A and B are shown apart, each in its own frame.
Chain A
Amino acid sequence: MRQLALATALVTSPLVMTAATAKETVSFFVIAYNEPGLGQWWQKLVKIYQDKTGNEISIRNTTGSDYYTQLITEVASGSAADILTVNQNNVRELVAGGQLRPLNDFVDKPGIRELLADGAWDTLTVDGKIYGLPITGRTLELLYNSCHLKESGFDKPPANLTEFIDMARKLTKRDGSGTITRYGANMVNANEDPTYEMLLMLTLAHGGSLTDKDGNFTLTSEPVVKALTVMKTLYDEGVVPRGLMETDQRSLFATGSTAMTIDGQWQFPFIKENNAANFDCYKSAKHPWDGPATGGVNQGLAINAKAANPEAAWALLEIAASGEMQSVFSDHSPYIPYGRNALTQAQLDARPYLKPWAESITTAHPIVPRHHEDQFNTIWPIVAEAVVSTLQNGVAPADALAKAQAALEECCKK
């Protein structure tokens, strides 16, 4: 009898839940909902949510390149969606603007915290409050074209920065007239935030940082100057493409016009689709210097502080965090999911190239300097300008960095 009652309760409880929250419409701001890959996972999530709760999801779709402008437009006009796609670089800005709802009351319900891997909930935590559910992470590791390496007499990828620079030189190919036909390595150097991250990575490689532990900027410190000098050397010698944006440098690597790059795992599906003949040449390895990889959450879900029905919105996040959704994540997307043990050995065997990223995702060094988390979009243009003016306009690294340091001290006191 008791078993029957329990069974009845189990069967009817979804119905009761449905009745309580029926016919809610929850808006969901999401990137590339209609595209293959992660988009299919989102579609699956929305379908399960609608079936389970009876609520409607109204999709507000945007593209990767327009995501940020669109998010800010919607937020600033006071009409943002109930569920927002956020990332580690902008979550603080949104929190500072009072736009996000703390999720602790939901996350502290039994069984929720355990859904994600250790430390995952901390990624979108601000001042002790959880503001988002991390969905995908990204770090930057080494990718190389082993066929190019072999051709130039290397049988191993570079293991440290010196080797990386040396190999980049030797992998650069010129034709009879001296025109470059293949670059040794990619190095982002356009006026965009990846350029900031490039400088940060090389600074970490030299044992430094862009800020000290109290959040004071240290752009004139030796490691930063050294990092920028490395960038200048590679640029001046012509072993890296000049002035190209990150997305364009990626296609150069994917199609064999660059031999090495520091990038993410998304390269592999692109190569498989567009350069299948050479797919086996492409390999990945740990970034060739000491210190952690840079990166963090590149897509997480947060709830609008003004959401009319946060419970209905949370239900979607809860399903997204569930084993049911997390276990199929890697079938759709090359990103690393945050779910506990979500990336199974079988999935990893199917995509062996994921290994360096799977290892570094939980120890990633944040891109935004500590104590300046709500100022990223003000900081990176200043730092990127220092890099670009050094490379393109011939300003000495120390001078460009001193100028940036002064600008940062003025704009971005913590």
Chain B
Amino acid sequence: MLQEVTGDQRPTTRLGRWRDALTDGPAFPLLMIVPPLLVLGLVIGVPLFKAVLLSFDRVILTRPQLAGQFTFYNYAKLLSDPSVWAAVWRTGLYMLGTVVGSIALGLSAALLTRRIVRWRGLARTIFILPWSMPALVAALVWGVMYDANFGVLNRILALLPFEIGRVEWLLNPNTVLPALIVAQVWNEFPVAYIFFLAGLQAIPEELYEAARVDGANGYQQFWHITLPQIRYVMAVIVVLLAIFGLRAFPIIHLLTQGRTETLTVKTFNAAFRQFDFSYASSIGILAVAVSLVLVLIYLRLTLRQDGSAI
């Protein structure tokens, strides 16, 4: 498909020079960077821009007479609304819980299966199975498992040698957030697993051989070779999972019918229950701001040390 330019023959035709500029010259990087930015700018950027505009307006479906102004009303309302800050806190906990849980499970599974020889394909496939289910389905199956009436989880607990008693997982205010996090972690840890597996594979075996010669045990190898080598992959996964956690909707919404108000659920409730699209947008913008700050701090802490571009 693409012609290979060999030797030192530089094209002399006009077409050749054009091709040269595109494949080798200053236009090359531009050509690679601009198209994705165009796509994102159009599909996300334009609606995002409109959302920003909306957040300074008062577009409420049932009160059309309020629309068309420029106001800080929504932001003032947001800053003085304790339920918004409760939602920020809840979202933070949810993000933290899902990120830590998914990394722990995904990395453990990747470390345990990286060098496996027998049944390798099967073992690896097992760990991506939960991810083959969309969040909606994960919500459904965890919903019946958690069910306070006939749920199988309580029956499993009853089999344990020690007494726990019946737990109303999704109804008890102390268990509902952990229960949601578990369902989400189960659903998304395979993403971490896959990228860890690919990242681990990129670590040169020589590093481990050298470490073994130096007498390093498995624990030391993990801390001094594995972790530093997968640092970038780890950083991207953390950011990705944090975004998943921030945007998580079907599991929270379906399992608690919108009663667990994270920022995403709150935007939904504001837009589709109060019809206040402006207020919903301002909460959405707040979500972007909060998570952007978190992510930038995190990236700076983990990746800036080696002086790379990120």
Interface size class of B (residues with CB under 8 A): 20 to 34
In the complex with contacts A93-B275, A377-B275, A378-B273, A245-B257 CB distance below 8 A: yes
- The answer to whether B147 and A244 touch across the interface, beta carbons within 8 angstroms, is yes
Residue B173 lies at the interface, judged by CB distance under 8 Å to chain A = yes
**A377 pairs with B171, CB closer than 8 A:** no
CA distance A192 to B148 in the complex (A): 18
Kindly report which residue of chain A lies nearest to residue B61, judged by CB atoms. A97
Q: Which of A67-75, A120-128, A154-162 contacts B (4 or more CB under 8 A)?
A: A67-75
Q: Does B256 contact A (CB under 8 A)?
A: yes
- With A93-B61, A242-B148, A243-B168 in contact, do A377 and B173 touch (Cβ < 8 Å)? no
Please tell me if B18 contacts chain A, counting CB pairs below 8 Å.
Answer: no
The reply on A388 being an interface residue by CB < 8 A is yes
Q: Note all chain A residues with C-beta closer than 8 A to B171.
A: 242-243, 392
Give 1 or 0 for each of B215-228: 1 = CB within 8 Å of chain A CB. Answer: 00000000000000
Scan A346-382; emit 1 where CB is below 8 A from any B CB, else 0. Answer: 0000000000000000000000000000110110010
A191 to chain B, nearest CB (A): 4
Q: Are A381 and B62 in contact (CB under 8 A)?
A: no
- Chain A interface bracket (under 10, 10 to 19, 20 to 34, 35 or more): 20 to 34
Once A242-B149, A244-B149 are accepted as A-B contacts, the answer to whether A72 and B271 lie under 8 Å apart by CB is yes
Find out whether the CB atom of A393 lies under 8 angstroms from the CB atom of B173.
yes
In contact, B149 and A180 (Cβ under 8 angstroms): yes
* Cβ A388 vs Cβ B62 within 8 A: no
Cross-interface CB contact of A377 among B168, B256, B273, cutoff 8 Å:
B273
Q: Is the Cβ of B256 less than 8 Å from the Cβ of A72?
A: no
Q: A242-B168, A392-B171 are in contact. Are A76 and B258 (CB under 8 A)?
A: no
Q: Could you tell me if B61 and A190 are in contact, using CB atoms closer than 8 angstroms?
A: no
- Chain B: which residue is nearest A378 at the CB level? B274
Q: Which 4 A-B pairs have the closest CB atoms?
A: A191-B257, A191-B259, A96-B62, A243-B171
Chain A to chain B contacts (Cβ below 8 Å), 19 pairs = A72-B61, A75-B61, A76-B275, A93-B61, A96-B63, A97-B61, A97-B63, A98-B64, A183-B149, A192-B257, A242-B148, A242-B149, A243-B148, A243-B149, A257-B150, A375-B62, A381-B269, A392-B168, A392-B173
Which A residues contact B (CB, under 8 angstroms)? 68-69, 72, 75-76, 93, 96-99, 180, 183, 190-192, 241-245, 257, 374-375, 377-378, 381, 385, 388, 392-393
